[in-house]
Amino acid sequence: MCIVLSHSEPGGHAENEDALEIRRHPQGGSCWIISIADGQGGQAGGAEATRLACRTVIEVVASLPATRATSSRTWIDALRRADEAVRADRDAGYTTLIGFAVRDGQIVGASNGDSALWVAGDEGEVLDLTEGQARNPPIGSGGAAITPFAAKLAGPWMVLGMTDGVWKYVGREGVRAAMAECRGQALLDALLARARLPRGGGLQDDFTAVLLQESVGSRMS
């Protein structure tokens, strides 16, 4: 059984320029397809870019058989489609983007930018699947650098997707520590608490995180 939790909150301004799409694949109930994006700071049209990019990626993958969701080529093509869609929208700026599927004990996807996707397995090791991604050219440029990734999931596993408003202000070691100490909603709560300013409790940047985890004692089918 796979549990999916998320939290998204604006930081320091009224509009949240992060975007997140979470969906079960319509042709495979055990297949989750996810996209997460963060508008490029200091640029106009960030919110429009993130929403369009996330929506496009999910619509592309959802239109294909669920078996193709665990193909790296599927996600490379989906992110290219998102890159083209954002570039063609006059109101959209640039954005980071991660798109991925969790199915049958594996995770497969592709990314661009500085949002992050981490996996923790049964031995406690935390793997950064987006470590080798390129930030530029960004999604919306029409020539975005897209990097695929894939990994086996050894249960009880956790998959944590996050924008830089999480890992930058919690700190990479802080994220690792939280993943070692917590699961489920407690993990999201711990990350949010660590990201908040000590005085006033505000956030310095938009905070978006999505957590998928295997229930203890179960295996995905």
Domain CATH for 127: 3.60.40.10
Burial (CB count <10 Å: 0-12, 13-18, 19+), residue 104: middle
Residue 220 lies in a domain: no
Please give the pLDDT value at position 216.
66
Own/partner pairs for 172-176, CB < 8 Å, 24+ apart?
Answer: 175/118, 176/126
pLDDT tens for each residue of 59-115 = 999 999 999 999 999 999 999 999 999 999 999 999 999 999 999 999 999 999 999
Domain limits at 86? 2-214
Q: 102: helix, coil or strand?
A: strand
108: number of CA atoms within 13 Å, CB side?
Answer: 18
Return the structure tokens found at 64.
Answer: 């294909």
Task: Please report whether residue 8 resides in a domain.
Answer: yes
| Cα radius of gyration rounded to whole Å, the chain | 16
Residue 180 pLDDT > 70: yes
Query: Is position 221 within any domain?
Result: no
Domain-located, residue 165: yes
Give every strand in the sheet of 18-25, ordered side by side: 18-25, 28-38, 97-103, 106-112, 147-152
CA distance 196 to 212: 23
The per-residue pLDDT for range 123-146, each reduced to its tens digit, is 778 999 999 999 999 999 999 999
In a domain, 116, yes or no: yes
Domain membership flag for residue 176: yes
- C-alpha separations of 106 from 75, 109, 121, 176, 185 in Å: 14, 10, 12, 21, 22
pLDDT of 218 above 70: no
Residue 174 belongs to what H/E stretch? helix 172-181
Whether 219 has a pLDDT exceeding 50, the answer reads: no
The pLDDT-based confidence of 57 (bands split at 50, 70, 90) is very high
Query: Does 219 map to a domain?
Result: no
Alpha carbon separation from 137 to 68, 95, 103 (Å, rounded):
26, 10, 30
Eight-class DSSP state of 202: -
Q: Whole-model pTM?
A: 0.94
Q: How far apart are CA 178 and CA 74, in angstroms?
A: 32
Contacts of 90 (CB under 8 A, 6+ apart): none
Overall domain count for the chain: 1
| Mean pLDDT within 160-179 | 97
